Amino acid sequence: MRNNKKVMEMKVTEGVSVNVIPDNDHEYLITEGNVCYGFQRYSVNRRRIHSGFIENLHFVTVDTYFSREQIIELGLTGDKILWTKWGIVRLGLFIKGKRANLFCNWAENLIILDCLTQDRLVDILKDVAMIDDRELRIRLVEKLTIK
């Protein structure tokens, strides 16, 4: 089973939340309806926007990614595709607007935070602590610390 959790709500910005499906391969998957809500659009047609979307990187096809039981359990019977965080960022290149920018920034922040895990940050800071130049140490710590 690729997914062992239920659908959960994540806050994008004040007054805007989307439902995401935790996933082992992509961390989160988001229904097309929630992506449309996040971008404040009626529909998102990946073929019309751009043909450069890659399956299993930017989106997954529900019928091939999940078993029939999982589709029913997750309430995805009407959904054909689910978007990944990378897909949302790619869509953000083509969909413009204030809310679209907020939604795209939210997805980018999730990606960036995934790359710099707490364990990785601690490991980097251990190496930084061995640097003799105090000013350089302070500058590096400031750059690595998320504000």
Based on the domain organization, do 134 and 76 belong to the same domain? no
93 located within any domain: yes
Within this chain, do residues 140 and 79 fall inside the same structural domain, yes or no? Answer: no
pTM, full prediction: 0.65
For range 70-89, the mean pLDDT: 86
Query: Are residues 53 and 74 both part of a single domain?
Result: yes
Q: What does the alpha-carbon distance between residue 82 and residue 27 come to, in Å, rounded to a whole number? A: 12
Alpha helices in the chain, H assignment, sequence order: 32-39, 46-49, 62-65, 68-74, 85-92, 98-115, 118-129, 134-144
Task: Establish if 1 belongs to a structural domain.
Answer: no
Domain check: are 44 and 82 in the same one?
yes
Counted domains in the chain = 2
Same domain, 49 and 87: yes
Q: Domain for residue 3, yes or no?
A: no
d(CA 36, CA 117): 29
pLDDT digits (tens, 9 = 90+) for 12-70: 778 888 888 888 888 889 888 888 888 787 666 655 555 678 889 989 989 899 989 98
Q: Do residues 106 and 124 both lie within one domain?
A: no
Q: Which domain holds residue 84?
A: 8-115
Asked if the structure places residue 138 within a domain, the reply is yes
Confidence (pLDDT) at 60: 92
Residues 90 and 120 in one domain: no
Whether 110 and 121 share a structural domain: no
* Higher local confidence (pLDDT), 86 or 60: 60
How far from chain centre, in Å, is Cα 147?
A: 20
Q: What is the pLDDT, as a whole number, of residue 1?
A: 42
Same domain, 111 and 135: no
CA dihedral (140, 141, 144, 146) in degrees, to 10, reads: -140
Does the residue 2 lie in any domain? Answer: no
In-domain check, residue 144 = yes
**Is residue 30 domain-shared with residue 78, that is, in the same domain?**
yes
Residue percentage of the chain with pLDDT more than 90 = 3
Q: How confident is the model at residue 146 (pLDDT cuts 50, 70, 90)?
A: low
